[in-house]
Chains A and B, each alone.
Chain A
């Protein structure tokens, strides 16, 4: 988006003047606009995300807020659809004048809102959307992704699969037909071809998003008998797929890899058998092996269970990451400003290169080159243990992000092609339940 140079100069001068002239008193509140799914299928992520935000803000405000300023939340429903979403986002930023936004869950929403946030010059944390292409296509100043993206997530899954099942010969994929389903497969298959070229892809199925019935696809997979079946589905679609596949014995016949299945484990209960490879879009698991004895972690999980009836899932931890990033940003900005309250632009700049931690997993770093978050990845296998009505994860590997995230300035697909088969020999610690 080119500015005429004279207009740019005028605007820049105005911004400077405004920045200097503004008396930097502490504001009465820090207002956060959060987009999340309150309706539609992705509300299985959105509603827990909202509950998490409310819980976190409540406990923050009890301690005085962020740097002593109370926090106020406004929610925008991503489920209202593209037009209403963009209109509402603009209204919240321009009329309600929020200080920062957390947008969004769906990559489609991010694709729309990230440029708008940049236009409106508001600090935005991409708190849950996974499409790598957004930050690879363009440099942003106001947008930061406080979590990983599809590339390290899928790569972690692939390396886990290759480490635990090195001899599989055939694979099939069944993903939801939209950007996440397509991109996640592109990443996985490109890397697979580079790391183990002799594997044959016997079927690539992309049923319509929200499809209520996978019977025909299940029949086809039963007939084709692949060694491994990958799916990056989530929500109701994943529930239906797992149940329909389970009812007909497909889960026993092929090794299923549920790339983001952590979010469905509790809902599926006994319909999810043992031995499924499950990913968590980050190192998120309410029984995280490195954190499960930590009292703050346990308290958070218990509080969430008391509030909503279920243990936290990864969107909950992603929301916590966005808040942790915000707190760290303000802290850093105040410190750079000599203890005084920073102005908007100083806050935005403070997020550059930030390192932060929720305490519920490993720390996250925001890469200064492209504002992409470097987040560890946890992958495990389902196992039945007494005391829980659903399967828990066992044989968990936690991957360090630096090796598995696309280097800054490269497109994921190009980088993946350069991987060599010895990539999987990386040393990764394994944790039992």
Chain B
């Protein structure tokens, strides 16, 4: 083992820049998946879903349960297990939340809708501990199946630097295509533009809200399921993710899909660089960015002003 040499000068050299970029991209991929669901839900339903972090956590935990169940049969089954877990949580939990807890309060003050999701977050957080316990859970089979990649002398897992960004890109393209090119997407956009007019021409706005919430919830759960192989699942993982994804979505502009991807990337890269240069400020980065952006452009970097501000 040769002795490492480090000084502030070295930290700026090209090797570390490349490494920081790779780290930033893999982090941004996961954050994007969770944030885009939140953004979509707000864009269409005008509800800030505080329970989004819990959906992320449930996606991870349920994926762990399924992974541990199927891994003895064949480790490759853990990949479909992740997807199945995400869809089940998104559809079931998301559906239940929208249908029974959010629907009664549409049309009421926004703060009440937000507080309902806050209450849901408290309940789901507590239930999570009762269902899956408090011991850390680990299920990293999917990651181990893929080889390592060496970049400039540093090992990376291809799961993190190849698979996750690919999934994020696929999701981005998929969402864009869905919203802009399909009929279902057009229906969603119509309801977003003007719910009354859409209802007038026969669109079932209630169903659109339900489907949209389910899609957003599935994306959050997918983020959690994909995060599972890289990390230990502990109680409280949802609490940090919700405020982080909110910061990303708000900075991008709530409802902006592509903007969320760009912002996630920005924040991911900023965080990685900060860890290399001045690690204490790692946690500060997303929120400082959020403050700065919102002060200058309150609708977010990519937000479009559609209504009066006051």
Residue ranges of A at the interface with B (Cβ–Cβ < 8 Å): 38-41, 43-44, 47, 169-170, 172, 200, 202-203, 205-208, 210, 212-213, 215-217, 219-220, 222-227, 235-237, 239-240, 243-244, 247-250, 253-254, 267, 271
Contact = CB atoms under 8 A, between A and B. Distances in A.
A41 B23 CA distance: 26
B4 A267 contact: no
B194 interface: no
Interface of B: 1-6, 15-16, 19-20, 22-24, 26-27, 129, 134-136, 138, 140, 143-144, 148, 152-157, 160, 227, 230-237, 240, 271-272, 275-276, 279-280, 282-283
Nearest to B135: A44
B237 A212 contact: yes
A209 to B, nearest CB: 10
B3 A227 contact: yes
Query: Which 7 pairs, one residue from A and one from B, show the smallest C-beta to C-beta distance?
Result: A236-B136, A236-B232, A43-B134, A236-B234, A225-B4, A224-B4, A212-B231
Contacts of A43: 134-135, 235
Contacts of A44: 134-136
Count chain B CB atoms within 10 A of each CB in A170, A213, A220, A250 and give the residue with the most.
A220
A47 B135 contact: yes
Contacts of B156: 219, 248
Nearest to A201: B6
A223 to B, nearest CB: 5
A40 B236 contact: yes
23 contacts: A38-B134, A40-B134, A41-B235, A43-B135, A43-B235, A44-B136, A169-B3, A207-B279, A210-B234, A210-B240, A213-B27, A216-B24, A219-B23, A222-B154, A223-B19, A225-B1, A225-B3, A240-B138, A243-B140, A247-B157, A248-B154, A248-B156, A267-B138
B232 A239 contact: yes
Contacts of A224: 4, 6
A268 to B, nearest CB: 9
Contacts of A219: 19-20, 22-23, 154, 156
Contact of A220 (B24, B230, B275): B275
A217 to B, nearest CB: 7
B27 A235 contact: no
B247 to A, nearest CB: 15
A271 B140 CA distance: 10
Nearest to B140: A243
A208 B283 contact: yes
A222 to B, nearest CB: 4
Contacts of B282: 207-208
Nearest to B1: A227
Contacts of A213: 27, 227, 230-231
A253 B1 contact: yes
Contact of A248 (B3, B138, B148, B271): B148
Nearest to A41: B234
Given A219-B22, A222-B155, A253-B1, A240 B231 contact: yes
Contacts of A267: 135-136, 138
